Chain A
């Protein structure tokens, strides 16, 4: 059995996997890693199954003291990780020794970095997932972000798949300006031609109040006819338009039912890129 001790808390570091499937009928969001690609990459590098629980760090990640020899990988945001003060590479398997201190720094690019540890974290399943859902205080490490003095254990004696090497070209580059494909949502027709034109021509800015529930956009308001909408199902990737006219892209911890017009839907396969957006980054939409 392996373990580490958190010796400095991060800004918001939580345990995540692919999320909770099958409980939306009772209002439980999917949760799970915001950038699923980086979660899968981190696991592949250390030879874990793709959706093995990982630690997701938003911004500054904190300092970990390893109590045992371990194989780890760090993917996602470029966070200049250091071991005992010396820079180490991301996107490769790293062997850490007992007593080593790993620090996950504030990212230079991107927003969220992922730490995978070879083996399987000892985190109890809640509704079939280890993902932390902070608003509900359940899942992950005691339903909360990990903090100073927490000790995380894992079983390292599992049959591992071969670790995977990443080539430079396979490492994603997280741009501060992205363009994503969307398709029309159920209430897209409520937009006037002018409003629809604006939706596809404006470069929106990510608002600082964005979080795991949704990415709030500012920069230009899109007007919509006044419409009393009945609460309807929503999923991550839906672009809602509240009366303010500032769109919100729903993310992993989003509610299951919403009352704002659903003007667009992002492709699920592109959603991971949004997990790396931070306040001030730009996003524009293209009709697929």
Chain B
């Protein structure tokens, strides 16, 4: 058990040089994980070479001893976190480029325009980025428009596709296989291999969709 940022974290080993940290709280995990992530991003620790923030835990990859990394973590000053501001992104979506409208309307028993209204009327939080390069998981989807994933995932979903998968919505910023219901497409490029870092959005940021016709 480790006390960081005012709460207790469970610490376990995930392989030889990886720690898994889980906030030991009943809810609000994501907020603490995002604060942890923002802290590491804004004041990098050279011993920590990579991180994976997820819904209820964050993995830390280190080049040092476990004891040393834990000592370093204990010394983080969390008070400077208040000074940081999350970015807000407005993403233009052409909902006419959706591929699964029939299914989404059928499951939700709502019309396309009602679904668009609800999907674009919500402010989302970027929960995490992964499982594949640049896939943006958004938290906050209205329950009335949640639709189970496709039984047979597509082998290729074009870059920029916006999907609904269960009670989440997300953006495929690179072409990839996937099983989410595609309801629209954006021309906004979040992922550009030529930039470092190649993605211009971060866990903890907020995002809204703006319907457009292309």
A115 to chain B, nearest CB (A): 26
Task: Please give, as numbers and ranges, the residues of chain A lying within 8 Å of B132 by CB-CB distance.
Answer: 27, 135-136, 255
Cβ of A127 < 8 Å from any Cβ of B?
yes
Cβ of A159 < 8 Å from any Cβ of B?
no
- Given the interface pairs A22-B49, A256-B52, the reply to whether A237 lies near B131 with Cβ below 8 Å is no
- Given the interface pairs A126-B193, A233-B59, A238-B15, the reply to whether A26 lies near B134 with Cβ below 8 Å is yes
Give complex CA distance A231, B131 in Å. 9
Residue in A23, A27, A136, A256 whose Cβ sees the most chain B Cβ within 10 Å: A27
Task: Please give, as numbers and ranges, the residues of chain B lying within 8 Å of A262 by CB-CB distance.
Answer: 14
- Given the interface pairs A27-B135, A136-B176, the reply to whether A233 lies near B56 with Cβ below 8 Å is no
Residue in A26, A232, A237, A266 whose Cβ sees the most chain B Cβ within 10 Å: A26
Cβ of B128 < 8 Å from any Cβ of A?
yes
Cβ of A25 < 8 Å from any Cβ of B?
yes
B50 touches A25 (CB 8 A): yes
- Given the interface pairs A232-B55, A233-B59, the reply to whether A255 lies near B176 with Cβ below 8 Å is no
Stretch binding the partner chain, chosen from B16-24, B71-79, B83-91: B16-24
Task: Please give, as numbers and ranges, the residues of chain A lying within 8 Å of B49 by CB-CB distance.
Answer: 21-22
Task: Please give, as numbers and ranges, the residues of chain B lying within 8 Å of A267 by CB-CB distance.
Answer: 15-16
B130 touches A186 (CB 8 A): no
Cβ of B54 < 8 Å from any Cβ of A?
yes
B59 touches A268 (CB 8 A): no
Cβ of A138 < 8 Å from any Cβ of B?
yes
B110 to chain A, nearest CB (A): 26
B15 touches A233 (CB 8 A): no
Cβ of A98 < 8 Å from any Cβ of B?
no
Give complex CA distance A262, B70 in Å. 23
Stretch binding the partner chain, chosen from B99-107, B112-120, B180-188, B195-203: B195-203
Cβ of A258 < 8 Å from any Cβ of B?
yes
B130 touches A27 (CB 8 A): yes
Residue in A126, A230, A231 whose Cβ sees the most chain B Cβ within 10 Å: A231
Give complex CA distance A231, B15 in Å. 18
Across the two chains, which residue of chain B brings its CB closest to A258?
B131
Across the two chains, which residue of chain B brings its CB closest to A266?
B15
B131 touches A255 (CB 8 A): yes
Give complex CA distance A237, B54 in Å. 19
Give complex CA distance A54, B80 in Å. 44
Contact of B52 among A136, A138, A233 (CB under 8 A): A233
Give complex CA distance A186, B21 in Å. 11
Q: How many A-B residue pairs have CB under 8 A?
A: 111
Cβ of A269 < 8 Å from any Cβ of B?
yes
Give complex CA distance A138, B15 in Å. 27
A232 touches B56 (CB 8 A): yes
Cβ of A55 < 8 Å from any Cβ of B?
no
Across the two chains, which residue of chain B brings its CB closest to A25?
B51
Indicate with 1 or 0, residue by residue over A223-234, a CB within 8 angstroms of chain B CB atoms: 000000011110
Task: Please give, as numbers and ranges, the residues of chain B lying within 8 Å of A22 by CB-CB distance.
Answer: 49-50
Give complex CA distance A161, B30 in Å. 48
Cβ of A265 < 8 Å from any Cβ of B?
yes
Contact of B128 among A23, A28, A257 (CB under 8 A): A257
Residues of A246-288 contacting chain B, CB below 8 A: 255-258, 262, 265-269
Task: Please give, as numbers and ranges, the residues of chain B lying within 8 Å of A235 by CB-CB distance.
Answer: 14-15, 18, 59, 61
Residue in A25, A133, A138, A255 whose Cβ sees the most chain B Cβ within 10 Å: A25
B163 to chain A, nearest CB (A): 15
Give complex CA distance A256, B137 in Å. 13
Contact of A24 among B37, B61, B175, B199 (CB under 8 A): B61
Give complex CA distance A269, B17 in Å. 11
Task: Please give, as numbers and ranges, the residues of chain B lying within 8 Å of A135 by CB-CB distance.
Answer: 132, 176-177
Task: Please give, as numbers and ranges, the residues of chain B lying within 8 Å of A266 by CB-CB distance.
Answer: 15
Give complex CA distance A254, B148 in Å. 24
A268 touches B15 (CB 8 A): yes
Cβ of B53 < 8 Å from any Cβ of A?
yes
Cβ of B12 < 8 Å from any Cβ of A?
yes
Listed A/B pairs (7) with beta-carbon separation below 8 Å: A21-B61, A27-B135, A137-B175, A235-B15, A256-B130, A257-B128, A262-B14
Chain B interface (Cβ within 8 Å of chain A)? 12-18, 20, 37, 49-59, 61, 128-135, 137, 174-177, 191, 193, 196-199, 203
Can you add 18 more A-B contacts, CB < 8 Å, to A26-B198, A238-B14? A25-B50, A25-B51, A25-B203, A28-B198, A135-B176, A136-B176, A186-B20, A231-B54, A231-B55, A231-B137, A235-B14, A238-B15, A255-B130, A257-B130, A262-B14, A267-B16, A268-B15, A268-B16
| Pairs A-B, 5 closest by C-beta atoms | A27-B130, A233-B59, A255-B131, A256-B130, A233-B52
